[in-house]
Copies of this chain bind each other. A is one copy, B any other.
Amino acid sequence: MNDASFSGRRVVVTGGLGFIGSALTRELVKREARVTVVDSLVPECSGSRANVEGIEDNIRIAEVDLRDRERLRPLLADAEVVFNLAGHMSHTESMHEPLVDLELNAHAQLALLEACRSLDTRPTIVFASTRQVYGRPRSFPVDESHPTEPVDVNGVHKLAAEQYHALYHRVHGFPVCILRLTNTYGPRMRIEDARHTFLGAWIGSVLRGDEFEIWGDGTQVRDFTYVDDAVAAFLAAATSPRAVGRILNLGDERYVSLRALADLLLAANEGGAYRLRPFPEDRKAIDIGDYAADYSAAREVLGWRPTFSLEMGLPRTLAFFREQAAVRA
């Protein structure tokens, strides 16, 4: 699809009831796309119909597992773009239940692509991958040529799913772009626990007035993407002809230590507390150390750059959850 306007376009969003998927869906609705959300609502993946509250009437929601090819195929039949965000994100859980992760992150992805292969058309596909495919950075910041040596089962399966997408581009002719996301945060992120990112658990804690924990000594660095910026990258990836066949990091030139991030969160919250504690053993075994992305390829190919600093994004995120709690109270 080479037209940056989405008006009237038939678009499928897998994982569209999830955190980033629902944000993308909301933006597509604003742009008057005809959106089909495909989401299995399996408990592991934390999608929720609440995430599309207010736009339900403007989208089609199909509660379908990607592995169910018979039900999936007709949903894809006339799609021009497939934003493929379905998946399971927990690194720790992937080590405890690797066969579940295999089903949700490899089998489901391959089944989706097989359903696409059976179509007469070749929709553009944008796949949401993750920095986790790199494993422990050998160089810093990490660009797309960095070796892929995942340190957990989740990373192994996300990498396999990337490679499926690359094959279906090269062998079967699908226009495909792969985005490797870093820690993404914002409204509707999971804050009940650290399943999506530790920052979600931190935000949940400060909202409840609880102390949160930094694992390690707090010097480890990470980069962050506000969800609206991630959404902009997905839209650009689907519409930039030069994105076809590319793997592109998202990231930020600014990276912060966990301790600096914690202080930014307390400042945004105007209060709160945290403490340092040693890494839990099961988490330490799969930790990747410092990470920050070199996203210059995305800048060059998509014209993308992050526009929300943590000073802007963190208060917005907290405000969203406060407002939501107030409405529900």
Which residues of A are at the interface with B, using a C-beta cutoff of 8 A?
Answer: 95, 98-99, 102, 106-107, 110-111, 113-114, 147-153, 156-157, 159-160, 163-164, 166-167, 170-171, 285-286
Q: B170 contacts A160, CB within 8 Å? A: no
- Given contacts A111-B99, A114-B99, whether A163 and B156 have CB atoms under 8 Å apart is yes
Select which of B95, B160, B171 is within 8 A of A157 by beta carbon.
B160
When C-beta atoms are compared, the residue in chain B nearest to A107 turns out to be B102
- Given contacts A111-B99, A160-B160, whether A148 and B148 have CB atoms under 8 Å apart is yes
Select which of B110, B163, B167 is within 8 A of A102 by beta carbon.
B110
Chain B residues in 8 Å Cβ range of A285: 170-171
Select which of B99, B106, B166, B171 is within 8 A of A160 by beta carbon.
B106
Q: How far is the CB of A146 from chain B (nearest CB, A)?
A: 10
Q: How far is the CB of A234 from chain B (nearest CB, A)?
A: 24
Q: How far is the CB of A238 from chain B (nearest CB, A)?
A: 24
Chain B residues in 8 Å Cβ range of A151: 167, 170
Q: A156 contacts B152, CB within 8 Å? A: no
Q: B107 contacts A171, CB within 8 Å? A: no
Q: How far is the CA of A101 from the CA of B157 in the complex (A)?
A: 15
Select which of B98, B110, B150, B286 is within 8 A of A98 by beta carbon.
B110
Chain B residues in 8 Å Cβ range of A157: 160
3 A-B pairs with least C-beta separation? A156-B163, A171-B285, A160-B160
Q: B164 contacts A156, CB within 8 Å? A: yes
Select which of B98, B147, B159 is within 8 A of A147 by beta carbon.
B147
